[in-house]
Chains A and B, each alone.
Chain A
Amino acid sequence: MSDAALRTTLEPRIPALAGLRRISLRIGEAAFRRLVKLGWLLILPAVTLPIWIVGTGHGWLPEQILPRPQDVLHTLRDMIASGELAQHAGYSLRRVAFGFAIGATAGLIAGSAMGLSRRVDDYVRPLFTAIAQVPALAWIPLAMLLLGIGEGLKIVVIAKAAFVPVVMNTSAGIANVPKAFVEVGETFRFTPLQMLRHVVLPGSVPPIFTGLRYGLTHAWIALVSVELLASSEGLGYLLVWGRQMFWLDTVLVAMIVIGVIGFASDKVLAVIEARLQRWRIDDVR
């Protein structure tokens, strides 16, 4: 087809073409903006990395203060290749998964009971506040005396850390379901089960999820604490081990992995949380 013929066949569809152009422009713009953002992001490492490399290379910074970045990277690669890193991370992740599952389940049950019944709340709240007031970190030595330093200790400490924010947000979320909705349910003569399913749950899912997100964050922090204090495997142990051996590269690798896992899990939960916010029923005044 010749150029002219092409133009004539396309002529009637020009509005569509223009729209397409606009869309492709917009995509280009988004990609461009992302590229600019990436550029800004790379400035910091572009400045610090050469200083780090040159500084450590010339021995201005002793290796006990900061190892060469190549060494850190090398250690990271070695530990990945040997499976050592995966093994330690696996221990840590399993502990967090177990502890969080137990703590969050218990927290959901206790929090729901406290949110649904004023009486239960009256009975349980002061004791709960007293327990929550003492940070997981302070409970660890007591738990070590009572439970020894086995797996049980880690699970209990992590579960406690997850339990507290889940209870607080669940009970508040349920207790704060707008009165108006409950009244609508009562008008429809909902059974308690219907009330729970159609009024209480939709109204309280977003705050409950916020509690779960905090719970997971606290569980991860508690894991690091308990592994630092009493463990012979896991990412926290890797830190202690590197510290004792004066292997700064190992310490840095462990810190990076702890940060990356924390960052990734928080990001995932933040995305889910943002989606759940659509469930929110705010103003009905």
Chain B
Amino acid sequence: MTSDSALGSIGRGLVLPVGLLLSWEIASHSGLVNRQFLPPLEHVGTSAWQELASGELVEALAASLRRDLLGFALGSSIGVLLGLLLGLSTIADRVVMTWFNGIKQIALLAWIPLISLWFGFDEMAKIAFIGLAAAIPVILNLVEGVRATSRKLIEVGEVFRFSRRQFILHLYLPAALPSLLTGLHLALIYAWLATIGAEYFMAAGPGIGGLIISGRERFDMDLVMLGILVVGSVGFLVDRGASWLERWLIPWGAASARV
């Protein structure tokens, strides 16, 4: 593609968003639309600035990210252990896998009432829920990766008389690495989603989700829009970061994550 047509396609891509923002601004200033529903852009900007200056936004974001990462660490470690077990042991696979496939069909958020009954509304409950969200894709992808280990590699391991430990460390894990990374990538995406969900329903303590919910209760459109923008941006950055890391770690395995 020549740079000229690339520029043209970027220009065309800007038409709709800019047009939309412009008509938003005009509608809001001309009084065609209630300002409570559609505050002028500069209002959203000022309230974003105020939130930033007061430190509330930063604090909420930091709390959310901390939760997100803790839940991710917990869930993905459990996921790696369970995934290895299910991938390597035929017995565990036969006994558990069908039940696991059934249970994963329960929409994730439907776990929140149960988890909040078990763990209450505080940090513990949120991290448990985020961990659950992160564990599922790790297990699924790791099981698939371990099972897809090539027969030839396994024969090589047998020739070398690998011990069980050597088999896992030097053969199955490296062979399953691309799938594992795909699983971890998905886990990062789900964990962020689960963080927002957990903060909506267990609205104790600071967090972006809590910020959005309180904005809705006060009919503070600026705050809600700001919160959504932050949620979307963090999700975007996490996804891009994980893709980049994946390519950097295993340039040969171009398996990109699908949601």
User: A residues within 8 Å of B by Cβ?
Assistant: 37, 40-41, 43-44, 64-65, 119, 122-127, 130, 133-135, 137-139, 141-142, 144-146, 220-221, 223-225, 228-229, 236, 239-240, 242-243, 246, 248, 251-252, 254-255, 258-260, 262-263, 266
Interface centre among A40, A141, A242, A258, by most chain B C-beta atoms within 10 angstroms, is A141
B93 to nearest A CB, angstroms? Answer: 9
Q: Which residues of A lie under 8 Å from residue B14 when comparing CB positions?
A: 126
Across the interface, do B212 and A134 meet the contact criterion of CB distance under 8 Å?
no
Measured between beta carbons, the chain A residues less than 8 angstroms from B221 are: 145
A251 to B231, CA, bound (A): 29
List of B residues within 8 angstroms of A260 by Cβ: 105
Give the contacting residue for A242; candidates B102, B113, B236; CB below 8 A: B113
Contact assessment for B193 and A224 in the assembled complex, using a CB-CB cutoff below 8 Å:
no
From A43, A125, A138, A141, B13 is in contact (CB under 8 Å) with: A125
A44 to B17 CA separation, bound complex (whole angstroms): 53
Q: Is the CB of A138 within 8 A of B110?
A: no
**Chain B residue with the shortest CB-CB distance to A243:** B113
Q: Can you list 22 pairs linking A and B with CB atoms under 8 Å apart? A: A41-B99, A64-B117, A122-B8, A123-B16, A125-B13, A130-B17, A133-B232, A133-B236, A135-B196, A138-B231, A141-B212, A141-B224, A145-B221, A225-B197, A236-B110, A243-B117, A248-B114, A252-B114, A255-B114, A258-B106, A259-B106, A262-B105
User: A130-B17, A141-B216, A142-B225 known; A225 and B106 CB under 8 Å?
Assistant: no
**Total interface residues on B, using CB and 8 Å?**
50
Taking the closest CB of chain B, its distance from the CB of A99, in whole angstroms, is 14
Of the listed residues A145, A221, A254, the one surrounded by the most CB atoms of chain B closer than 10 A to its CB is A145
The answer to whether A137 touches B200, judged by C-beta atoms less than 8 angstroms apart, is: yes
Nearest CB of chain B from residue A95's CB, rounded to whole Å = 14
Instruction: From the candidates B13, B95, B196, name the one contacting A137 in the complex (CB within 8 A).
Output: B196
Q: Does B24 contact A (CB under 8 A)?
A: no
Please indicate the chain B residues that have their CB under 8 angstroms from the CB of A134 in the complex: 228, 231-232, 235
Task: With A135-B231, A137-B196, A239-B113 as known contacts, state yes or no: A266 contacts B225, CB within 8 Å.
Answer: no
**How far, in Å, is B67 (CB) from chain A's closest CB?**
15
- The binding surface of chain A is classed by DSSP as helix
- In the complex with contacts A137-B197, A225-B109, A145-B224 CB distance below 8 A: yes
Q: 14 new A-B pairs (CB below 8 Å) besides A142-B225, A251-B113, A262-B107?
A: A41-B95, A44-B99, A65-B118, A134-B232, A137-B109, A138-B231, A142-B224, A145-B216, A145-B219, A145-B224, A221-B108, A223-B107, A228-B109, A243-B116
A138 touches B96 (CB 8 A): no
- Whether A138 lies near B196 (C-beta < 8 A) is yes
Cβ of B135 to closest chain A Cβ, rounded Å: 17
Q: With A135-B231, A138-B232 as given contacts, are A124 and B102 in contact (CB-CB < 8 Å)? A: no
Cα of A14 to Cα of B110 in the assembled complex, Å: 61
Q: Is the CB of A141 within 8 A of B201?
A: no
Across the interface, do A251 and B107 meet the contact criterion of CB distance under 8 Å?
no
Which residues of B does A touch, CB under 8 Å? 8-9, 12-17, 20, 37, 94-96, 98-99, 101-103, 105-114, 116-118, 193, 196-197, 200-201, 212-213, 215-216, 219, 221, 224-225, 227-228, 231-232, 235-236
Q: Which residues of B contact A251 (CB under 8 A)?
A: 113-114, 117
| The 5 A-B residue pairs with the shortest CB-CB distance in the complex, in nearest-first order | A243-B113, A134-B232, A259-B106, A126-B13, A262-B105
Q: In the complex, what distance in Å separates the CA atom of A134 from the CA atom of B221?
A: 17
A43, B96: Cα distance in complex, Å: 9
Structural contact, B200 and A124, CB atoms closer than 8 A: no
Which A residues are in CB contact (< 8 Å) with B118? 65
Measured in the bound complex, the distance between the Cα atoms of B20 and A242 in whole Å is 43
Q: Are B224 and A246 in contact (CB under 8 A)?
A: no
Chain B residues with CB below 8 A from A126, complex form: 13-14, 16-17
Q: Which residues of A contact B201 (CB under 8 A)?
A: 228-229
Q: Given the complex, which residues of B lie within 8 Å of A142, measured CB to CB?
A: 216, 224-225, 228
Q: Which B-chain residue is minimally distant from A239 (CB atoms)?
A: B113
| Chain B residues, Cβ within 8 Å of A133 | 232, 235-236
* Residue pair A259, B113 in contact (C-beta under 8 Å): no
Contact between chains at A119 and B228 (CB < 8 Å)? no
Cross-chain contact of A40 among B94, B215, B231 (Cβ < 8 A): B94
The CA-CA distance from A242 to B116 in the complex, in Å, is 12
**Minimal beta-carbon separation of A227 from chain B (angstroms):** 9
Q: Do residues A258 and B110 form an inter-chain contact, with CB atoms below 8 A?
A: yes
A133 to B98 CA separation, bound complex (whole angstroms): 32
Closest B residue by C-beta to A140: B200
Query: Max chain A CB contacts within 10 Å: which of B111, B112, B113?
Result: B113
Complex Cα distance, B113 from A242, in Å, reads: 8
A123, B200: Cβ atoms closer than 8 Å: no
Give A208 Cβ to nearest chain B Cβ, in Å.
Answer: 16
Are A246 and B16 in contact (CB-based, < 8 A)? Answer: no
B110 → chain A closest CB, angstroms: 5
Contact of B193 among A124, A135, A266 (CB under 8 A): A135
How far is it, in angstroms, between the C-alpha of A123 and the C-alpha of B231 when the chains are bound? 25
Contact (Cβ within 8 A) A119 B12 = yes
